[in-house]
Structures are given as structure tokens and as C-alpha cells.
Amino acid sequence: MSSYQHPGIVFTDRYFTVPLDHSDPGGEQIEIFGREAVASGRTGEELPWLVYLEGGPGFGARRFIGAEAWLGRAVREFRVLLLDQRGTGLSTPANRQTLPLRGGPREQADYLAHFRSDAIVRDCELIRPQLTGGEPWTVLGQSFGGFCAVRYLSAAPEGLSTVLITGGLPSLDAHADDVYRAAYPRIERKVAAHYARYPQDVERAREITAHLAEHRPESAGHRLTPEGFQSLGIMLGGGNGSHQLHYLLENAFVRTPLGTELSDTFQEAVRAATSFAGHPLYALMHEAIYGQGGRSTGWSAERVRAEFPQFDAAEALKGDGPVLFTGESIHPWHFEVDPALRPLRETAELLAARADWAPLYDTERLAANQVPVAAAVYHDDMYVDTEHALRTAASIRGLRTWVTNEYEHDGLRAGGPRVLDRLLALVRDEA
């Protein structure tokens, strides 16, 4: 362990060893990293623990600079563990460089089948007694971290004192097709709102799409395509995303001796925004988080998109309508255009075809829940369907919801301490 001081906080780096396959505890082991955070001056105190589960899948816990955002509020009363879920951050990595150590695509897919929320919860339950002495702890789950929290309530509620969820109540029984069938209309509404705010972006997006369709440029090995450009719509799920997208688009073209071309500035910004080099598990495992019921996901987002022809960029260019951006969805072409994913295409195909995913949620146990739970449901959330979230909320005994359109999906980050304050007040019957 190593400790270091930030403004208002002492961080301590911790490493834990857990089984790759929890059904074989004596088998292969992997490493899990967590960063402990405690308020300066309170390092020697007995404080209750809060474990933070990041969104994703595939993202390590946020790297905080001191007591910023919600963390400053949390350390007023908790000792916080910022957990890098398996395969992310400083935990044993899973990416194009490391996965070939497993063998070929089949071995890689079998390995990654152990990287869903059920395994993450088992990791937490091995780590918890090492830190708390066996006492239950509070879980704060953001987005996919909330999915993990609901799995936790299903599988090991005895390890929980309180559960706080932000933008992360999953459907308990929906197939991935149902998730995306609900998602595309929400995305279309977000795009319409963006174009209403920035009407000049309608023509600009059409010009960029037409240029990409004709030229298909590359930036650092990343092929820029109309579909990849459309995927910038994922930005619209954040509070400032519409403005950020507008500023990106306004820098698209530059005059050169050879005529008008896409600027280096724009191409690099698009590459950085759409590359999965820093979080390949997001692409590999995104649809697998919905895998249940003996059915494969089968590239669900790609198949369901065909039911919404208004998202077809080529067809949009034939007429005078807007090019619609897409959002939080993964497609086979991601594994063709992104050099961080290209070597993993066959592995992704095997995961998409896999049908033996274990059930993730125990509806009977959730209906009998005794753990205090509060959830922020963002009414205009582009990533998580409000109807699905509220149906799940009603299925978890005692869960209290805070439904708000004040924030987008990034409310926990953007709202500073206010979101955490509100959820703590709800579980303590103070609101």
C-alpha cells in the first residue's frame, strides 16, 4: 500500500487478489485495484465504508483531484473505496494487448464471460471483510455501477448497509432488443433537441457525413466513417454534451491548396471521442450486461437499428432531412474502424453469439428486500430508459426514488454533493 495527500483527502492505493472464476476459488487469480479515500485528519478514525462502482462497463473508477464533486461530501462521513472493476484501470487489464495471452478468440471470449456484474459483486464480497472486518458497507453505483448494485441486492444483501444508485436501475427481465428498441426513440428526441438549439448544425452534419462517405479518411489508424461520426451522439447524454458536440462540429472544415478538407483538429477530436483504446471492455461487454434467459444478444443494437430507418445516414443524404446521431450502442463496424478493437473482432462475435448467460437478478429476493435503497432516476436520461427504471424501482421493496429532469445521466458528477446529499436523505427518511 502507498498513501499520499491531496487537498482535503488522503488516498491509499490497495490491491486485492480474487479468483477469475468464483466457482473455482483455487484456480486462476486476478488482481483488483481500489483507491481508498479518507478526509485529511480522519485517517485514524473508525469510519463506515462506502464502495463506489463506476459506470460502463469497462471504465475504471474516476481519478479525483482531492475532495472534488461528490467525493468531498462522501468523506465527511465515510471511508471510500474507489474500485477499479475487474479488467479496468489498474486491475488486471483486458485489452487487445493482454487478451492474446489467453489464447485465441474462443479462449478470450470464455475469459471475458467472467467480467459481468455477477463476478464484480463476488469480488466486492471478498474485498469487503478485508476492509470492514465483516461489517456491511454502503454501495454507490453510477450507471452500470447501479446495475451491479441491483445484482448485489439479489445475490448478497447481507453485505450491504445501504445502496445508493444514480442513473442505473436496469430492467430485470428485458432482452437487449427491448433495451435498444426503447433507446432509439430517446436518442432521436435528444438529437432533435440539439438541432433545435443549434440549427446550423443540421447542414454542417450533412456536409461532414457526405465528406466521410466519399473519402473515409484515417486518423492515427482510426478510420472515420459516417456511422462513426453519428456515434458522437453519445455526447448528448451529458449535461453539457450538446454544447460540446456543437463546438466540435464548428471546427470541421479547413481550406487547403487542394480544396476544402476536414481539419486535423476535427479529425483528432473525433478519433479521441470515438476510440475505445482506453476502455475496450465497454465495446466487448456492453450488450453482454443484458444477457439473460438463454438468448444471445446477437448484435442487438445493430439489428434493432434497422427498425428505425431514420438513422440511416445514406438515406438521409439522398433527401434533405437531418443526419441523426446515435448514442450508447455498439455495432460490428466498431471492430473494423478502431485499431484498439480490430484484433478483437472474432472475440466480439463469439460473445454476441453466446447464449448461456446466467440470470443476474432474483426478483423474489428483491421483492423481500430489507436494505435501505435510494435511486436517482433522470427523467430525460438518454442511456437508461425511465420506464424500465421505474418498473424495477417498484420491484425492489422499500426503494425510494428521486425522479428529476434537472440532470442528465452525469448528474452525480455534474451535481457535485447535491445528488449524494439527496440520496442519503432519502434512505435516512430525512426527505
177 is catalytic: no
Q: Which of 211, 222, 286, 409 is catalytic?
A: 409
Cell of 182: 426503447
Distances (CA, A) of 342 to 275, 334, 345: 11, 8, 6
Q: What is the DSSP letter of 282?
A: H
Distances (CA, A) of 360 to 141, 243, 288, 321: 16, 37, 11, 42
Which uninterrupted H or E stretch holds 38? strand 29-39
Helix (H, G, I), strand (E, B) or coil at 183: helix
Helix (H, G, I), strand (E, B) or coil at 103: coil
219 is catalytic: no
Q: By C-alpha distance, which of 93, 65, 162, 78 is closest to 373?
A: 162
Q: Which of 143, 219, 296, 395 is catalytic?
A: 143
Bridge partners (DSSP) of residue 37 are 11, 80
Nearest-10 crossing angle of helices 386-395, 176-197:
130
Report how far residue 205's alpha carbon sits from residue 228's, in angstroms, rounded to the nearest whole number: 12
356 is catalytic: yes
Spacing of C-alpha 100 from chain mean position: 25
Which residues does the annotation mark as catalytic? 143, 356, 409
